[in-house]
Amino acid sequence: MEEVLRQFRLEGRPLSCERYGEGHINQTYLVVTDKKRYILQRLSRAAFHDIPALMRNIAAVTAFLAARSDDPRASLHLVPTVDGALWFRDAAGETWRVYDFIEDSLCLQAPETAEDFYESGVAFGRFQRLLQDFPAETLTETIPNFHNTPDRCRKFHAVLEKDPAHRAAAAAPEIAFYLAHEGEAGALLELLARGALPLRVTHNDTKLNNVMLDRKTRRALCVIDLDTVMPGLVAYDFGDSIRFGASTAAEDERDLDRVGLDLALYRRFCEGFIPACGGLTKREIETLPLGAKLMTFECGLRFLTDYLDGDHYFSVARPEHNLDRARTQMKLVQETERRWDEIEAIIRAFL
């Protein structure tokens, strides 16, 4: 770590470097010097195959956002290497980057109040609005087909056919559920192809824990984890927020009786997100519930695919961790279908 830290233009002498956060993909560390604090990350080579393009995306987007706010905490700030690069690659081929630590901030794994979830909606909606004039065509698709749900289905079928970890028999009910629901997988992409929905710059990983709140006021400061910022649909960002934040249980809860959909939180997120976006079309707003359902289905399918493949993508703490995650998403899809009329009533208030 000392060798890695020497590569970056840090203020002060490093005093400590310890694991930080609960991310599934990259390894994150809190670096403390005698003058400042920083976030150090080792990027996942399994998840990201074109790290230079990913880092160019982040540099462009963060600079664009920073230019539109007087608050230095309103955007991530990359710390360059001593050579002026955006990242450092060590002798083992691992890629590292450093951000300024966002001081006096708070990151939540689940909303403690409805207002926390509302503020995350404001943050992601504002992110959409501020990037409306960003040239989306200049961004690289860092993970091709990331929210291409039909493609996720194809990958699921390929892994299921091979069953490399010999786990299919243990997940037969879950496999049957996801196979039965894949007919709706391409609904949003079909609307995009017909020109019924506009392509926008989207975050594509809009979990509550990717929003920093002010520690004192609990107001939204900025959005973090920009590795998957790409062109996409607003329903993607809305949907991932709902599936993660409006659930009544943790993403890896084993007791499915605890997993449900909190419609009060659903409504409160809408109240923050939709007005903060500004300029959404009527069709975009109408398709937000479908986005929530499809993002939940897609995420569960990804967890199940990784489970069947032997847990190569998501970090796991136990043998059935990804299967547990797939089950919670399955339960949320079922809850969404059961309460569809109530959900549509919530959305109609914004049309």
Q: Are strands 14-19 and 37-42 parallel, antiparallel or unpaired?
A: unpaired
- The answer to whether the CB of 171 falls within 8 A of the CB of 304 is yes
Where b means 16+ CB within 10 Å and e means fewer, 115-142 reads ebbbbbbbbbbbbbbbbeebebeebbeb
pTM: 0.91
Note the pLDDT of residue 184.
95
Instruction: Give the pLDDT band (50/70/90) at residue 232.
Output: very high
Q: Give the residue among 306, 310, 319 at the shortest CA–CA distance from 165.
A: 310
Percent of the chain with pLDDT over 90: 88
Nearest-angstrom CA–CA distance, 137 and 340: 35
**Both structure tokens of 255:** 């007791």
Nearest to 11 by CA among 62, 60, 102, 82: 82
Mean per-residue pLDDT for 204-211? 92
Instruction: State the pLDDT at residue 136.
Output: 85
β-pairing, 88-89 vs 95-100, is antiparallel
SS3 of 212, please?
strand
Tell me phi and psi for residue 235, to 5 degrees.
-65, -30
Q: Does residue 24 register a pLDDT over 80?
A: no
Contact (CB, 8 A) for 304 and 322? yes
Strand order through the sheet with 211-214: 105-106, 211-214, 220-223
The backbone torsions φ and ψ at residue 16, rounded to the nearest 5 degrees and listed phi first, read -155, 160
Q: What are phi and psi of 20, to 5 degrees?
A: -145, 140
Assess whether pLDDT exceeds 80 at residue 197: yes
Q: Is 72 helix (H, G, I), strand (E, B) or coil?
A: helix
CB 79 within 8 A of CB 8: yes
Average pLDDT rounded to a whole number, residues 311-327? 94
Under 8 Å between Cβ of 203 and 226? yes
Residue 175: C-alpha distances to residues 41, 274, 297, 304, 320 (Å):
35, 34, 12, 8, 14
Separation CA 349–CA 270 (nearest Å): 10
Encode pLDDT of 132-181 as tens digits: 989 888 999 988 899 999 999 999 999 999 999 999 999 999 999 999 99
The predicted pLDDT at position 192 comes to: 96
List Cα–Cα distances, 191 to 144, 241, 296, in angstroms.
19, 21, 19
Q: Cα–Cα distance between 265 and 91 in angstroms, integer?
A: 47
pLDDT computed for residue 283 by the predictor: 97
Tokens 């709902």 sit on residue: 242
- Helix (H/G/I), strand (E/B), else coil: 22: coil
Average pLDDT over residues 229-247: 94
The confidence score (pLDDT) of residue 111 equals: 86
Q: Where residue 57 falls among pLDDT bands split at 50, 70, 90?
A: very high
Confidence label for 118 from pLDDT (cuts 50, 70 and 90): very high
Query: Does residue 17 contact residue 40 with C-beta atoms inside 8 Å?
Result: yes
Cα separation values, 217 from 71, 116, 213, 214, 220, Å: 15, 11, 8, 6, 9
Average pLDDT over residues 243-247: 93
Question: What gap in Å lies between CA 258 and CA 249, rounded to an integer?
Answer: 6
Residue 109 above 90 pLDDT?
Answer: no
Instruction: Compute the average pLDDT of residues 12-24.
Output: 89
- Which domains are assigned to the chain? 2-60+76-103 (3.30.200.20), 114-348 (3.90.1200.10)
Q: Which residue(s) pair with 39 in the sheet?
A: 30, 99
Provide the greatest CA pair distance for the chain: 58
How does pLDDT run across 65-101, given as a tens digit for each residue?
A: 999 988 899 999 999 999 999 999 999 999 999 999 9
8 forms bridges with which residues in the sheet? 81
pLDDT for res 351: 92
Q: What is the mean pLDDT of the chain?
A: 95
> Residue range 1-8: average pLDDT?
94
pLDDT score at 177 = 98
